[in-house]
A = this chain, B = another copy of it.
Amino acid sequence: MSQFENVTIVKQANVYFDGKVTSRTVVFADGTKKTLGIMLPGEYEFGTDTTEIMEILAGDLQVLLPGDSEWISISGKGEFTVPANAKFKLIVATVADYCCSYL
């Protein structure tokens, strides 16, 4: 789906890592939430509160999921799931556009 309809979007951006990672929060009619974000090239560690499904819409990056020792490469489009209350690492090589769903 290329767009989300009948949603609420929070005007103010979420800003992390001096703006190298930013997102906007989208709230759906059923109360579920997604963020649409941009990551500039760099290395990041994130923590989760809930299970997160990260859909990469564009960009080249590597992800190290919690408990893993092997990095996963994503080029262009891809998806990975991170369990709740966990940390994961990203090495972003080119500007990455993403959609994160919170379960």
Q: Name A's B-contacting residues (CB within 8 A).
A: 1-13, 15, 18-20, 22, 24, 26-27, 36, 38, 40, 57-58, 95, 97, 99
Contact = CB atoms under 8 A, between A and B. Distances in A.
A5 B4 contact: no
A38 B10 contact: no
Chain A, interface SS category? strand
A39 to B, nearest CB: 9
Nearest to A22: B38
User: Which of A3, A4, A13 lies at the interface centre, i.e. has the most chain B CB atoms within 10 A of its CB?
Assistant: A13
Given A22-B22, A24-B36, A11 B95 contact: no
A12 B36 CA distance: 8
